[in-house]
Amino acid sequence: MSGQTHAWGRRGAVIVQGRAVHYRRSGPPGAPAAILLHGSPESASAVHEVARVLSERMSVIAPDTPGNGLSQPLDQADPDRADYARHLIAFMDAMGVARAGLYGFHTGAGTAMAAALLAPERVAALALDGLAVWTSEERADLLAHYCVTFPPAADGSHLARIWARLEEQLIFFPWHHARLDGRMALPATPMETRLRRLRDWLTAHEHYPAPYRAAFKAKGEDGPDRVRVPTLIGAMDRDPLSAHLDRLPALAPSVRVERWGDDRAGALQSIAAHLAAHPGAPAVKPDPSDKALLASLASPQARHEWAPDDHGGFLLKLWRDMRLEAIETARDQAELDAALAPHALHARVTAAIQARTGL
Protein backbone atom coordinates (compact mmCIF):
# COMPACT_ATOMS: atom_id res chain seq x y z
CA MET A 1 0.00 0.00 0.00
CA SER A 2 1.59 3.26 -1.07
CA GLY A 3 1.61 6.59 0.73
CA GLN A 4 1.14 5.27 4.27
CA THR A 5 0.46 8.19 6.60
CA HIS A 6 1.71 6.13 9.54
CA ALA A 7 5.22 5.56 8.15
CA TRP A 8 6.88 8.55 9.81
CA GLY A 9 10.47 9.27 10.77
CA ARG A 10 13.49 6.97 10.78
CA ARG A 11 13.34 3.48 12.21
CA GLY A 12 15.88 2.12 14.69
CA ALA A 13 16.48 -0.66 17.18
CA VAL A 14 18.43 -0.96 20.43
CA ILE A 15 18.83 -3.46 23.25
CA VAL A 16 17.26 -2.38 26.55
CA GLN A 17 17.42 -4.61 29.61
CA GLY A 18 18.47 -7.46 27.35
CA ARG A 19 15.48 -7.11 25.02
CA ALA A 20 15.14 -5.60 21.55
CA VAL A 21 13.27 -2.31 21.24
CA HIS A 22 12.11 -0.95 17.90
CA TYR A 23 11.53 2.79 17.62
CA ARG A 24 10.90 5.71 15.28
CA ARG A 25 12.38 9.16 15.55
CA SER A 26 12.19 12.51 13.77
CA GLY A 27 12.80 16.19 14.34
CA PRO A 28 15.80 18.52 14.38
CA PRO A 29 19.02 17.23 15.99
CA GLY A 30 19.79 18.95 19.28
CA ALA A 31 16.17 19.89 19.93
CA PRO A 32 14.51 19.06 23.26
CA ALA A 33 13.47 15.41 23.43
CA ALA A 34 9.85 14.26 23.48
CA ILE A 35 9.02 10.58 23.84
CA LEU A 36 5.68 9.31 22.54
CA LEU A 37 3.98 6.21 23.96
CA HIS A 38 1.28 4.56 21.86
CA GLY A 39 -1.77 2.65 23.02
CA SER A 40 -2.31 -1.11 22.85
CA PRO A 41 -2.11 -3.30 20.88
CA GLU A 42 -0.43 -0.95 18.43
CA SER A 43 3.05 0.43 17.69
CA ALA A 44 4.94 3.68 17.24
CA SER A 45 3.22 4.04 13.85
CA ALA A 46 0.00 4.88 15.69
CA VAL A 47 1.30 8.23 17.01
CA HIS A 48 2.14 9.58 13.55
CA GLU A 49 -0.13 12.64 13.77
CA VAL A 50 1.32 13.70 17.13
CA ALA A 51 4.87 13.03 15.90
CA ARG A 52 4.44 15.23 12.83
CA VAL A 53 3.25 18.18 14.91
CA LEU A 54 5.87 17.85 17.64
CA SER A 55 8.81 17.19 15.30
CA GLU A 56 8.56 20.72 13.96
CA ARG A 57 10.39 21.90 17.09
CA MET A 58 11.33 18.81 19.12
CA SER A 59 13.42 15.68 18.75
CA VAL A 60 10.67 13.06 18.77
CA ILE A 61 11.32 9.43 19.71
CA ALA A 62 8.60 6.79 19.88
CA PRO A 63 9.32 3.19 20.87
CA ASP A 64 7.16 0.20 20.20
CA THR A 65 6.45 -0.52 23.85
CA PRO A 66 7.54 -3.95 25.14
CA GLY A 67 5.45 -6.77 23.70
CA ASN A 68 3.92 -4.50 21.05
CA GLY A 69 5.01 -3.91 17.46
CA LEU A 70 8.52 -5.22 16.86
CA SER A 71 9.71 -4.81 20.45
CA GLN A 72 10.25 -7.90 22.56
CA PRO A 73 8.15 -8.34 25.72
CA LEU A 74 9.35 -7.77 29.25
CA ASP A 75 10.75 -10.74 31.15
CA GLN A 76 8.06 -10.63 33.84
CA ALA A 77 5.14 -13.01 33.41
CA ASP A 78 2.52 -10.41 34.43
CA PRO A 79 4.18 -6.98 34.57
CA ASP A 80 2.54 -3.89 36.00
CA ARG A 81 2.77 -0.31 34.78
CA ALA A 82 5.76 0.40 37.05
CA ASP A 83 7.68 -2.32 35.19
CA TYR A 84 6.92 -0.58 31.90
CA ALA A 85 7.93 2.75 33.46
CA ARG A 86 11.29 1.35 34.56
CA HIS A 87 11.84 -0.01 31.07
CA LEU A 88 11.01 3.41 29.63
CA ILE A 89 13.65 5.07 31.82
CA ALA A 90 16.17 2.43 30.69
CA PHE A 91 15.19 3.17 27.07
CA MET A 92 15.85 6.86 27.66
CA ASP A 93 19.30 5.92 28.97
CA ALA A 94 19.98 3.89 25.83
CA MET A 95 18.94 6.84 23.65
CA GLY A 96 21.06 9.32 25.60
CA VAL A 97 18.05 11.30 26.88
CA ALA A 98 18.44 12.60 30.43
CA ARG A 99 15.06 14.34 30.58
CA ALA A 100 12.12 14.35 28.18
CA GLY A 101 8.56 15.45 27.73
CA LEU A 102 6.27 12.43 27.60
CA TYR A 103 3.13 11.99 25.51
CA GLY A 104 0.99 8.93 26.13
CA PHE A 105 -2.21 7.61 24.59
CA HIS A 106 -4.38 5.26 26.69
CA THR A 107 -2.03 2.50 27.93
CA GLY A 108 0.87 4.78 27.02
CA ALA A 109 -0.65 7.51 29.21
CA GLY A 110 -0.60 5.16 32.19
CA THR A 111 3.04 4.28 31.59
CA ALA A 112 3.96 7.96 31.24
CA MET A 113 2.26 8.80 34.54
CA ALA A 114 4.04 5.89 36.25
CA ALA A 115 7.39 7.13 34.91
CA ALA A 116 6.74 10.64 36.24
CA LEU A 117 5.95 9.21 39.67
CA LEU A 118 8.96 6.89 39.61
CA ALA A 119 11.56 9.34 38.30
CA PRO A 120 10.22 12.92 38.19
CA GLU A 121 13.72 14.26 37.56
CA ARG A 122 13.66 12.46 34.17
CA VAL A 123 10.29 13.86 33.04
CA ALA A 124 9.95 17.49 31.93
CA ALA A 125 6.18 17.35 31.36
CA LEU A 126 3.32 14.96 30.71
CA ALA A 127 0.67 15.17 27.98
CA LEU A 128 -1.85 12.38 28.57
CA ASP A 129 -4.35 11.67 25.80
CA GLY A 130 -7.01 9.54 27.50
CA LEU A 131 -6.07 8.43 31.02
CA ALA A 132 -8.03 5.43 32.29
CA VAL A 133 -9.60 5.53 35.76
CA TRP A 134 -11.39 2.17 36.07
CA THR A 135 -14.02 1.25 38.60
CA SER A 136 -13.38 -2.00 40.48
CA GLU A 137 -16.18 -3.67 38.47
CA GLU A 138 -14.75 -2.51 35.14
CA ARG A 139 -11.27 -3.64 36.15
CA ALA A 140 -12.44 -7.14 37.02
CA ASP A 141 -14.42 -7.44 33.79
CA LEU A 142 -11.56 -6.20 31.59
CA LEU A 143 -9.00 -8.48 33.21
CA ALA A 144 -11.32 -11.45 32.81
CA HIS A 145 -12.62 -10.90 29.26
CA TYR A 146 -10.82 -8.24 27.24
CA CYS A 147 -7.51 -9.86 26.30
CA VAL A 148 -8.48 -12.91 24.31
CA THR A 149 -5.86 -14.67 22.22
CA PHE A 150 -6.41 -16.72 19.07
CA PRO A 151 -3.82 -19.50 18.67
CA PRO A 152 -3.08 -20.32 15.02
CA ALA A 153 -5.52 -22.93 13.73
CA ALA A 154 -4.82 -25.44 10.97
CA ASP A 155 -7.60 -24.02 8.79
CA GLY A 156 -6.67 -20.38 9.38
CA SER A 157 -10.00 -19.66 11.08
CA HIS A 158 -8.21 -17.77 13.85
CA LEU A 159 -7.50 -14.99 11.32
CA ALA A 160 -11.21 -14.41 10.76
CA ARG A 161 -11.69 -14.20 14.51
CA ILE A 162 -8.84 -11.70 14.86
CA TRP A 163 -10.29 -9.51 12.09
CA ALA A 164 -13.75 -9.64 13.68
CA ARG A 165 -12.25 -8.78 17.07
CA LEU A 166 -10.47 -5.73 15.67
CA GLU A 167 -13.58 -4.58 13.80
CA GLU A 168 -15.70 -4.92 16.93
CA GLN A 169 -13.31 -2.60 18.75
CA LEU A 170 -14.26 0.10 16.25
CA ILE A 171 -17.92 -0.21 17.26
CA PHE A 172 -18.09 -0.97 20.99
CA PHE A 173 -16.04 -0.28 24.09
CA PRO A 174 -15.34 -2.60 25.65
CA TRP A 175 -15.40 -4.68 22.48
CA HIS A 176 -16.75 -7.80 24.19
CA HIS A 177 -20.02 -6.13 25.29
CA ALA A 178 -22.40 -5.28 22.43
CA ARG A 179 -24.39 -2.68 24.36
CA LEU A 180 -26.00 0.55 23.25
CA ASP A 181 -24.32 2.44 26.07
CA GLY A 182 -20.96 1.18 24.80
CA ARG A 183 -21.54 2.04 21.15
CA MET A 184 -18.96 4.54 19.91
CA ALA A 185 -19.63 7.31 17.41
CA LEU A 186 -16.35 6.95 15.56
CA PRO A 187 -15.91 8.13 11.97
CA ALA A 188 -15.31 5.45 9.35
CA THR A 189 -11.83 3.98 9.79
CA PRO A 190 -9.74 3.96 6.60
CA MET A 191 -8.59 0.57 5.37
CA GLU A 192 -4.97 1.74 5.74
CA THR A 193 -5.52 2.17 9.48
CA ARG A 194 -7.36 -1.12 9.81
CA LEU A 195 -4.51 -2.96 8.07
CA ARG A 196 -1.92 -1.23 10.28
CA ARG A 197 -3.79 -2.35 13.39
CA LEU A 198 -4.05 -5.86 11.97
CA ARG A 199 -0.30 -5.83 11.30
CA ASP A 200 0.41 -4.77 14.87
CA TRP A 201 -1.92 -7.42 16.31
CA LEU A 202 -0.43 -10.20 14.17
CA THR A 203 3.11 -9.07 14.94
CA ALA A 204 2.61 -8.90 18.71
CA HIS A 205 0.28 -11.93 18.69
CA GLU A 206 0.47 -13.81 22.02
CA HIS A 207 2.46 -10.99 23.67
CA TYR A 208 -0.20 -8.29 23.31
CA PRO A 209 -2.19 -8.99 26.52
CA ALA A 210 0.60 -8.07 28.97
CA PRO A 211 0.63 -4.28 28.32
CA TYR A 212 -3.16 -4.23 28.40
CA ARG A 213 -3.27 -6.14 31.68
CA ALA A 214 -0.81 -3.71 33.23
CA ALA A 215 -3.10 -0.84 32.24
CA PHE A 216 -6.20 -2.61 33.55
CA LYS A 217 -4.57 -3.45 36.88
CA ALA A 218 -3.40 0.13 37.43
CA LYS A 219 -5.39 2.61 39.48
CA GLY A 220 -5.60 5.70 37.31
CA GLU A 221 -6.63 7.88 40.22
CA ASP A 222 -3.17 7.25 41.70
CA GLY A 223 -1.00 9.93 40.13
CA PRO A 224 -3.03 12.98 39.12
CA ASP A 225 -3.37 13.81 42.82
CA ARG A 226 0.38 13.83 43.52
CA VAL A 227 2.38 14.12 40.29
CA ARG A 228 4.92 16.94 40.49
CA VAL A 229 5.72 17.58 36.82
CA PRO A 230 3.58 19.88 34.64
CA THR A 231 0.78 17.63 33.42
CA LEU A 232 -1.95 18.02 30.80
CA ILE A 233 -4.74 15.42 30.82
CA GLY A 234 -7.26 15.56 27.98
CA ALA A 235 -9.51 13.50 25.75
CA MET A 236 -11.56 13.78 22.60
CA ASP A 237 -15.34 13.48 22.98
CA ARG A 238 -15.29 10.36 20.80
CA ASP A 239 -12.78 8.67 23.11
CA PRO A 240 -14.47 6.24 25.54
CA LEU A 241 -12.02 7.46 28.17
CA SER A 242 -13.38 11.02 27.94
CA ALA A 243 -15.91 9.98 30.60
CA HIS A 244 -12.98 9.14 32.88
CA LEU A 245 -12.06 12.82 33.14
CA ASP A 246 -14.97 13.12 35.57
CA ARG A 247 -13.46 10.32 37.68
CA LEU A 248 -10.18 12.09 38.35
CA PRO A 249 -9.47 12.80 42.02
CA ALA A 250 -8.55 16.15 43.49
CA LEU A 251 -5.72 17.26 41.24
CA ALA A 252 -2.20 18.25 42.15
CA PRO A 253 -1.34 21.91 41.42
CA SER A 254 0.79 20.76 38.49
CA VAL A 255 -2.19 19.21 36.64
CA ARG A 256 -4.72 20.75 34.30
CA VAL A 257 -7.54 19.03 32.41
CA GLU A 258 -8.85 19.85 28.95
CA ARG A 259 -11.82 18.54 26.98
CA TRP A 260 -11.01 18.69 23.28
CA GLY A 261 -14.45 18.02 21.84
CA ASP A 262 -14.15 17.08 18.17
CA ASP A 263 -11.24 19.44 17.45
CA ARG A 264 -8.31 17.08 16.91
CA ALA A 265 -6.16 19.78 15.34
CA GLY A 266 -6.73 21.97 18.38
CA ALA A 267 -5.89 19.07 20.68
CA LEU A 268 -2.60 18.47 18.88
CA GLN A 269 -1.69 22.14 19.15
CA SER A 270 -2.49 22.15 22.87
CA ILE A 271 -0.33 19.05 23.41
CA ALA A 272 2.52 20.60 21.42
CA ALA A 273 2.28 23.92 23.26
CA HIS A 274 2.30 22.19 26.65
CA LEU A 275 5.38 20.10 25.90
CA ALA A 276 7.16 23.07 24.26
CA ALA A 277 6.53 25.20 27.33
CA HIS A 278 8.29 22.61 29.50
CA PRO A 279 11.09 21.31 27.26
CA GLY A 280 13.19 18.27 27.96
CA ALA A 281 16.90 17.93 27.31
CA PRO A 282 18.33 17.02 23.91
CA ALA A 283 19.69 13.55 23.26
CA VAL A 284 23.41 13.75 24.00
CA LYS A 285 24.70 11.00 21.73
CA PRO A 286 24.24 10.00 18.08
CA ASP A 287 21.41 7.70 17.19
CA PRO A 288 22.41 4.33 18.71
CA SER A 289 20.43 2.12 16.35
CA ASP A 290 21.93 -1.30 15.58
CA LYS A 291 21.39 -1.97 11.86
CA ALA A 292 21.77 -5.72 12.16
CA LEU A 293 19.32 -5.85 15.06
CA LEU A 294 16.82 -3.72 13.15
CA ALA A 295 17.02 -5.99 10.12
CA SER A 296 16.46 -9.06 12.30
CA LEU A 297 13.17 -7.89 13.80
CA ALA A 298 10.97 -8.61 10.77
CA SER A 299 11.17 -10.08 7.28
CA PRO A 300 8.26 -8.73 5.22
CA GLN A 301 7.41 -10.85 2.17
CA ALA A 302 5.50 -9.05 -0.57
CA ARG A 303 2.62 -10.78 -2.37
CA HIS A 304 0.73 -9.02 -5.14
CA GLU A 305 -2.29 -11.21 -5.83
CA TRP A 306 -4.50 -10.11 -2.95
CA ALA A 307 -6.48 -7.09 -1.83
CA PRO A 308 -8.09 -6.30 1.53
CA ASP A 309 -11.85 -6.34 2.02
CA ASP A 310 -14.23 -5.24 4.74
CA HIS A 311 -15.14 -8.73 5.95
CA GLY A 312 -11.62 -10.14 6.32
CA GLY A 313 -12.02 -12.86 3.72
CA PHE A 314 -8.68 -11.84 2.23
CA LEU A 315 -6.95 -13.35 5.25
CA LEU A 316 -8.46 -16.77 4.59
CA LYS A 317 -7.48 -16.49 0.94
CA LEU A 318 -3.91 -15.69 1.90
CA TRP A 319 -3.85 -18.68 4.23
CA ARG A 320 -5.28 -21.02 1.60
CA ASP A 321 -2.91 -19.82 -1.14
CA MET A 322 0.13 -20.18 1.11
CA ARG A 323 -0.98 -23.63 2.22
CA LEU A 324 -1.39 -24.80 -1.39
CA GLU A 325 2.03 -23.40 -2.28
CA ALA A 326 3.56 -25.35 0.59
CA ILE A 327 1.90 -28.55 -0.59
CA GLU A 328 3.02 -28.03 -4.19
CA THR A 329 6.65 -27.19 -3.40
CA ALA A 330 7.49 -29.54 -0.50
CA ARG A 331 10.35 -31.92 -1.35
CA ASP A 332 9.78 -34.36 1.49
CA GLN A 333 7.40 -35.03 4.36
CA ALA A 334 9.49 -33.21 6.96
CA GLU A 335 9.51 -30.06 4.83
CA LEU A 336 5.76 -30.33 4.27
CA ASP A 337 5.04 -30.81 7.96
CA ALA A 338 7.13 -27.77 8.84
CA ALA A 339 5.51 -25.60 6.14
CA LEU A 340 1.96 -26.57 7.13
CA ALA A 341 2.47 -25.96 10.85
CA PRO A 342 -0.12 -23.33 11.85
CA HIS A 343 2.50 -21.06 13.45
CA ALA A 344 4.60 -21.18 10.26
CA LEU A 345 1.65 -20.22 8.05
CA HIS A 346 0.65 -17.52 10.54
CA ALA A 347 4.17 -16.05 10.29
CA ARG A 348 3.93 -16.01 6.48
CA VAL A 349 0.58 -14.20 6.58
CA THR A 350 2.02 -11.70 9.05
CA ALA A 351 4.99 -11.10 6.74
CA ALA A 352 2.62 -10.44 3.82
CA ILE A 353 0.64 -7.90 5.83
CA GLN A 354 3.86 -6.25 7.00
CA ALA A 355 4.99 -5.92 3.38
CA ARG A 356 1.67 -4.40 2.39
CA THR A 357 1.58 -1.81 5.16
CA GLY A 358 5.31 -1.28 5.62
CA LEU A 359 7.00 -1.52 8.99
pLDDT digits (tens, 9 = 90+) for 141-193: 999 999 999 999 999 999 999 999 999 999 999 999 999 999 998 889 999 99
Residues 187, 38, single domain; the answer is no
Q: Please give the residue range of the domain that contains residue 190.
A: 148-204+300-357
Residues 47, 134, single domain; the answer is yes
Q: How far apart are CA 21 and CA 294, in angstroms?
A: 9
Residues 216, 199, single domain; the answer is no
Tell me if 24 is assigned to some domain. Answer: yes
Residues 152, 136, single domain; the answer is no
Residues 162, 229, single domain; the answer is no
Tell me if 5 is assigned to some domain. Answer: no
* Residue 324: how many other CB atoms lie within 10 Å: 10
pLDDT digits (tens, 9 = 90+) for 27-71: 998 999 999 999 999 999 999 999 999 999 999 999 999 999 999
Residues 152, 258, single domain; the answer is no
Tell me if 155 is assigned to some domain. Answer: yes
Count of positions (residues) in the chain: 359
Residues 36, 178, single domain; the answer is no
Tell me if 4 is assigned to some domain. Answer: no
Residues 157, 46, single domain; the answer is no
| 74, 81 Cβ separation under 8 angstroms | no
Residues 188, 283, single domain; the answer is no
Q: How far apart are CA 258 and CA 268, in angstroms?
A: 12
Q: DSSP assignment, residue 155?
A: T
Q: Interior CA angle at 14 toward 213 and 98, to 5°?
A: 85
Residues 130, 58, single domain; the answer is yes
pLDDT (tens digit, 0 to 9) for every residue of the chain, 359 residues total?
444 678 899 999 999 999 999 999 999 989 999 999 999 999 999 999 999 999 999 999 999 999 999 999 999 999 999 999 999 999 999 999 999 999 999 999 999 999 999 999 999 999 999 999 999 999 999 999 999 999 999 999 999 999 999 999 999 999 999 999 999 988 899 999 999 999 999 999 999 999 999 999 999 999 999 999 999 999 999 999 999 999 999 999 999 999 999 999 999 999 999 999 999 999 998 999 999 999 999 999 999 889 999 999 999 999 999 999 999 999 999 999 999 999 999 999 999 999 999 99
Residues 219, 332, single domain; the answer is no
| β-strands 231-235, 123-129 pairing | parallel
- Residue 51's domain is classified under what CATH number? 3.40.50.1820
The total number of structural domains in the chain stands at 2
pTM comes to 0.96
Q: How far apart are CA 304 and CA 282, in angstroms?
A: 43
Tell me if 260 is assigned to some domain. Answer: yes
Residues 131, 109, single domain; the answer is yes
CA distances from 129 to 37, 78, 253 (A): 10, 25, 19
Query: Per DSSP, which regions of the chain are E strands?
Result: 10-16, 19-26, 33-37, 59-63, 100-105, 123-129, 231-235, 255-259
